[in-house]
């Protein structure tokens, strides 16, 4: 109490620039806080209409006007990020509903793991069958790990027999690929003594 009354009664005229700077900073922080609150008070929700996008950019007889998309997937350690997850991410990116010539997927492996390299080699072979299958039948979700883990009876709705046949072939290929990932993971890490 005593110190505050002393500072009010005996002002320090040399500190006027510091006082002015602190007041300007406080006003700036208050203004920026208010501006930060506006989007929270009035949130904007946007909805994408894919049919309108297709009508606008994919016209018959004209070149496709959609912008090219580059997707970067980064990974470091196959122990913390299993290669099967990275492979499923790459497969879902490649199977996206977008013109094939406009999508590029790059994988950056900062750990230089041979296990991930082998996994992505297997994934590229599987992608040659998986991506056309997804586009042909409009498969959702497009990551095979999540698609095959769904408990849906596809025979219940009188599905076309070719779909059932191709789906079984994809599931067998996916199980084989997953088994190869696990065997490769165990083999590589057993050899270097981590397991």
Q: Where are the domains of the chain?
A: 71-191
Q: Kindly list the distances between the CA atom of residue 42 and the CA atoms of 36, 39, 124, 166, in Å, as whole numbers in the listed order.
A: 11, 5, 45, 48
pLDDT score at 195 = 47
Structure tokens at 56: 């606008």
pLDDT score at 158 = 58
- Altogether, the residues listed in the chain come to a count of 195
Q: Is the dihedral of CA 148, 157, 133, 56 positive or negative?
A: negative
Global pTM value = 0.63
Per-residue pLDDT of the chain (195 residues; tens, 9 = 90+): 555 555 556 667 777 888 889 999 999 999 999 999 988 888 888 888 877 877 787 777 877 788 899 999 999 887 788 888 888 899 899 888 888 888 999 999 887 888 888 888 888 888 888 888 888 888 888 888 888 888 877 666 657 778 878 888 888 877 777 766 666 655 655 555 544
Q: At what angle do helices 161-191 and 114-137 cross, to 10 degrees?
A: 170
pLDDT score at 79 = 78
Among residues 38, 27, 97, 29, the alpha carbon closest in space to that of 69 is found at 97
What is the C-alpha separation between 129 and 172, in angstroms, rounded?
Answer: 12
Pair 102, 67: CB distance under 8 Å: yes
Pair 113, 78: CB distance under 8 Å: yes
């Amino acid at each position: 109490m005593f110190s505050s009354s002393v500072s009010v009664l005996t002002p320090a005229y040399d500190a006027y620039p510091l006082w002015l700077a602190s007041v300007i900073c406080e006003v700036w922080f208050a203004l920026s806080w208010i501006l930060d609150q506006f989007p929270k008070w009035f949130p904007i929700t946007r909805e994408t209409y894919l049919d309108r996008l297709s009508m606008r950019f994919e016209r018959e007889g004209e070149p496709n006007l959609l912008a090219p998309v580059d997707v970067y997937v980064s990974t470091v350690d196959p122990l913390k990020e299993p290669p099967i997850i990275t492979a499923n991410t790459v497969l879902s990116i490649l199977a996206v509903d977008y013109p094939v010539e406009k999508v590029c997927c790059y994988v950056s492996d900062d750990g230089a793991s041979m296990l991930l390299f082998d996994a992505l080699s297997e994934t590229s072979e599987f992608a040659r069958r998986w991506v056309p299958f997804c586009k042909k039948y409009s498969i959702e979700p497009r990551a095979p790990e999540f698609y095959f883990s769904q408990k849906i009876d596809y025979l219940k709705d009188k599905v076309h027999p070719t779909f059932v046949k191709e789906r079984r072939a994809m599931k067998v290929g996916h199980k084989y690929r997953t088994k190869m990932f696990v065997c490769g993971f165990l083999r590589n890490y057993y050899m270097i003594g981590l397991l």
